Structure 1
C-alpha cells in the first residue's frame, strides 16, 4: 500500500572486472573503480582507481586517480594521486604521479616525474632587523 519505487542510484563503489584469460583490444573509459586480471592492448582512462592483478597486463597509456599494480605494464602512466607498485610488478615506460610506493622485487624500468599539488607558500610578514 505504501510501497513506492525507489529511484535507482548509480553503482559507484562497485568495481568493474576483467577476468584472467580475457583480451581487450581498444580503449576503456570508466568513472568507477576497475580491476584488470586479463590483458588490455589500448588506453585506460578513469577518475577512479585501477588495480592490475598478478595476471593482468596493459600495453598502452593509463590515466587515473590511483593505481595498484601487480602485473605487467608497458606505456605511459599518469596517476593523479598514488601509484603503488607491488613486488611482482613489471613497469616499462614513462610515469608521472603525485606519490609513489614501490615494494622490493618490483621491476621499474621507467622515467619518473613526481608532480605534487602543493600551494606555493608566501611570507607576508616583514622581517625586522635589529
Structure 2
C-alpha cells in the first residue's frame, strides 16, 4: 500500500501512498464537498458534492445526498442528486438513484431503480434544454393570447 523504496541520501521526500484510492467507510458521515483526483469508494453517508477525475463507487450501504461528477461510476447504494459522468454510469444491485443523469453510456441491472431524466447527448443537451424551454414558453404564451 505504501511506497517502500529506500530514500537516497539528501532526499527529503516522505513516503507517499502509491495508490490514489479514497474510501469513506460504513458508519462515516461527511457534510461538505469532496474533491479528489483518484478513485473514491463511498460506503458511508455524504451530504454534498462528490467530484473526481476518476471513478466513483457507491457501495451497497452508501448514501449520497448531493451531486456526483466523475469519469465513470458504479452505483450500488442510494444517490439523490444530479449525476454527471463522462463515460459509463452503471447502476448495480439494489441501487436507487433519484435525480437527473448526464452520461455518455448508461447501464442498469433489472433490480436497480432510477427516478429522473437521462441525458446522453453530453453538453449539447444541457445547452439546448433552456433554449427549448424558452421556445415552448413563447409558444404557450402565444397560444394563450
TM-score bracket for this pair, using the shorter chain length: 0.7 to 0.9
Structure 1 alignment gaps of length 5 or more: 118-130
Residue 31 of structure 1 aligns with which residue? 37
Give me the TM-score of the superposition, normalised by structure 2.
0.72
Structure with more of its chain in helix, by fraction: 2
Give the Cα separation in 2 of the matches to 1:104 and 1:114. 20
Kindly indicate whether structure 1 or structure 2 has the higher relative contact order, using CA contacts under 8 Å at least 6 residues apart.
Answer: 1
* Structure 2 gap ranges (5+): 1-6, 124-145
Q: Does 1:59 align with 2:65?
A: yes
Q: Quote the offset at 1:110 in angstroms.
A: 1.3
1:15 to partner: Cα distance = 1.1
| Between structures 1 and 2, the one with greater strand share | 1
Normalised to the residue count of structure 1, the TM-score between the two structures is: 0.80
Whole-angstrom CA distance in 2 between matches of 1:63 and 1:9:
30
Preserved contact between residue 92 and residue 109 of structure 1 (Cα < 8 Å) = yes
Aligned length: 115
The alpha carbon displacement at 1:116 in A equals 5.9
